[in-house]
Chains A and B, each alone.
Chain A
Amino acid sequence: MNQLIQTLKEQLIEALNLEDITPEDIETSAPLFGDGLGLDSIDALEIILILEREYGIKIDNLENAKEVFYSVQTLADFIDKNRK
């Protein structure tokens, strides 16, 4: 799980153009959206693409999006449960 969290942070930094941010700067359980990293709805679409491309998780209609996209931890839990 720790490896998945580390990799996910690196993927987020690259895909979301997070300047001057290292994986260590992203708190695993802190909210991803809102003020912290300044993520928004376009970033959410990019995260969906990461899930599809990197983990083979196809998302057509995510009922509990808010919970899944809450933090790196919740995303990693979701990936762990659903990846192919």
Chain B
Amino acid sequence: MERESKNPIACYIIGDAMITALGETTSENLRAIKEYQSGIQLDGSGDFLSRPIQVARIKQTVYDSFARYDSLEFTKAETLIVSVIEDLILQYQVDLQSFDTGLILATTKGNIDQLTLSDAIPTQTWLPALGLKIEQYFKTTNRIKIISNACISGVSALIVGKRLIQNSTYKQVVVVGCDVLSPFIASGFSSFRSISPTQCKPYDESRNGLNLGEACGALLLSATPSADAIILSGGAITNDANHISGPSRTGYELHLAMDKAMNEANILAKDVSFLDLHGTATVFNDEMESKAVSLSELAEVPVQSLKPYFGHTLGASGIIETIISAHELKDGICWATLGFEKTGTSVPLRVSNLHQPLDMMHCVKTASGFGGCNAAIVLSLPEFQKPSESSEPITVSRLRSVLVEDSKIFVDSGLVFESAEKDFPTFIRQANKNFGFVNQKFYKMDDLCKLGYIASSYLLEGIDFDSEKTGIILSNKSSSLDTDHKHAKLLFKEGESGVSPTVFVYTLANVVLGELCIRHKIKGENTFFITNSYEEADLIDYSTSVMRSDNLDYCIMGWCELFEDNYKAEFKLLKKI
């Protein structure tokens, strides 16, 4: 049994730093946006795709300017992360060596640009190794928390940081988001045919895809306000439980995330001054968002997408876009959505290609990503903060546990299935047939998803639950590195035309969450942490705080690790009592 104490603490955003294609500081970025500049340019270098591609690339001179890190042999991602955190430390005197300071990294692919044709997998492509390097550089007291939740990673990390402030784990949290461009990422998005040959045009009738970008940003969250703080007053994550790459056709689940976040902030649609949406400019994403906005009765509220300035910077996008949105609230201006000309969504949104001065109170910021995940946060000017009720402390019990390892499956420590076959693909096929749930999609999944799928099937067998009141919080060590390697092999051996969308879609750890949500129709919170080893007590604490703040009845939590021949799934079902 775990118990939580009641603790209504506000979470303030008191500082930021960022490096993007538009500039090396927040003020440089804001200046460029004010002048309607885009960081997206046609890149014919062949560094990412063989054909010229519109990308928002950080200039090589920026990387070169960090000569002080030369002796440390930092990768591009490491250089950006360390320099952005150092900027934050310099500006706001953050003490990362304090017991009271936490550090969270949001990234989809970390150092994946370091994968090469060689069969050997470089150590730095393991996300825990990247995390360790950051910890060692800053001599942090607390372990870094890494979140890999596809394109909602940045917003997810802010929600995690907010909870860690509010449950008094830390007094300050640095939340950093980073992803860098690579052929790995560009070829995958190209195989999905989602890259626009021109500069992206979110919500426009002629939109035809996204532009990739690279960036790193950091926000400083604190339990104590500063003179010009913004309040992170609400946050929620949901899952479409529909498809691992295609957005919901109804927008209901993103709407659910926005409504939950607004409920937490205790605000109504009329209190929202503007929406900073994901706005990737793919046909289906923007259409889904317009429906979600309408369902939340926000269709009359000004909307923007910042993607035309920065490109889609994946795990960094939620952080850098939140930085800009927080400044918009303070400065009383909603920036233009570059390239927008004519409404191209079934529900017309209030998008403008001109900067608009606005009376500001609250901003709702959203993100959606592969794995069917959606996230929404509310940013509030302190003078308009609404008192919100703190959720009641809850007690949870462990209803059931499942362990899958060494060709055996245990439920509550009792052996329920065993195979003589030691290789994972054969074992997991047999386990699936033994379980008896016919689903052709099982065979399309990568091995990590198959492992999670089988573990969850045994965990939830015979249990009735409310789809919107159930969440999944998982962790592992290797993220999706097993499948990353398969995608890289196709790319390096067969070229871009050999890349398979079926493989690429699984190069994200949180797609396991997506598959589980589809299988069991789960629409609640879903977050994937990367840790060097299974930290069960921490994950139970976090899951309990999610169940409390998100009012969930059930939460699946645990460890889902697979890399080459080694695998282990250790799931628990928590129930609120």
Residues of chain A touching chain B, judged by Cβ–Cβ distance below 8 Å, are: 16-19, 37-38, 40-43, 45-46, 48-49, 52-53
Instruction: Quote the shortest CB–CB distance from B421 to chain A (angstroms).
Output: 16
Asked if B443 contacts A19 (CB within 8 A), the reply is yes
B419 at the A interface (CB under 8 A): no
Asked if B500 contacts A37 (CB within 8 A), the reply is no
Asked if A38 contacts B440 (CB within 8 A), the reply is yes
Q: Which 3 A-B pairs have the closest CB atoms?
A: A19-B443, A38-B440, A45-B501
Residues facing A in B439-488 (CB within 8 A) are 439-444
The 8 A CB mask of B496-514 against A (1 = contact, 0 = none) is 0100111001000000000
Distance of A19 Cα from B193 Cα, bound (Å): 26
Given A40-B246, A41-B245, A41-B246, A46 and B501 touching (CB < 8 A)?
yes
B145 at the A interface (CB under 8 A): no
Distance of A49 Cα from B494 Cα, bound (Å): 13
Closest residue of chain A to B494 (Cβ to Cβ) is A53
Q: How many residues of B contact A (CB 8 A)?
A: 19
Closest residue of chain B to A48 (Cβ to Cβ) is B193
Closest residue of chain B to A45 (Cβ to Cβ) is B501
Instruction: Quote the shortest CB–CB distance from A47 to chain B (angstroms).
Output: 11
Distance of A49 Cα from B191 Cα, bound (Å): 9
Closest residue of chain A to B192 (Cβ to Cβ) is A45
B243 at the A interface (CB under 8 A): yes
Residues of chain B touching chain A, judged by Cβ–Cβ distance below 8 Å, are: 191-193, 243-246, 429, 439-444, 497, 500-502, 505
Given A49-B500, A53-B497, A42 and B505 touching (CB < 8 A)?
yes
Asked if B502 contacts A46 (CB within 8 A), the reply is yes
Asked if A42 contacts B443 (CB within 8 A), the reply is no
Closest residue of chain A to B444 (Cβ to Cβ) is A17
Closest residue of chain B to A60 (Cβ to Cβ) is B193
Chain A residues with Cβ below 8 Å from B497 are: 49, 52-53
Give the one of B441, B500, B502, B505 with max A CB within 10 A.
B502
Instruction: Quote the shortest CB–CB distance from A56 to chain B (angstroms).
Output: 12
Asked if B502 contacts A42 (CB within 8 A), the reply is yes
Asked if A42 contacts B245 (CB within 8 A), the reply is yes
Chain A residues with Cβ below 8 Å from B429 are: 19
14 A-B pairs (CB sep. < 8 Å):
A18-B440, A18-B443, A37-B440, A38-B439, A38-B440, A41-B245, A42-B505, A43-B444, A45-B191, A45-B192, A45-B193, A45-B501, A49-B501, A52-B497
Distance of A17 Cα from B192 Cα, bound (Å): 18
Could you say which of A18, A40, A46, A52 contacts B500, with CB atoms under 8 Å apart?
A46
Distance of A42 Cα from B446 Cα, bound (Å): 14
Chain B residues with Cβ below 8 Å from A19 are: 429, 440, 442-443
Distance of A45 Cα from B503 Cα, bound (Å): 12
Distance of A19 Cα from B191 Cα, bound (Å): 23
